[in-house]
Chain A
Amino acid sequence: DQQVKQNSPSLSVQEGRISILNCDYTNSMFDYFLWYKKYPAEGPTFLISISSIKDKNEDGRFTVFLNKSAKHLSLHIVPSQPGDSAVYFCAASSGGSNYKLTFGKGTLLTVNP
Chain B
Amino acid sequence: GAGVSQTPSNKVTEKGKYVELRCDPISGHTALYWYRQSLGQGPEFLIYFQGTGAADDSGLPNDRFFAVRPEGSVSTLKIQRTERGDSAVYLCASSLTGSGGDTQYFGPGTRLTVL
Contacts and interface: CB of A to CB of B under 8 A. Distances in A.
Contacts of A105: 40-42
A93 B98 CA distance: 12
B99 A98 contact: yes
B106 A44 contact: yes
B43 A103 contact: yes
A51 B93 contact: no
Contacts of A36: 106
Task: Determine the interface band of chain B, counting residues with CB < 8 A from chain A.
Answer: 20 to 34
Contact of A46 (B44, B45, B104): B104
A99 B42 contact: no
Interface in B67-115: 91, 93, 95, 98-109
Nearest to B91: A43
Contact of A43 (B31, B59, B109): B109
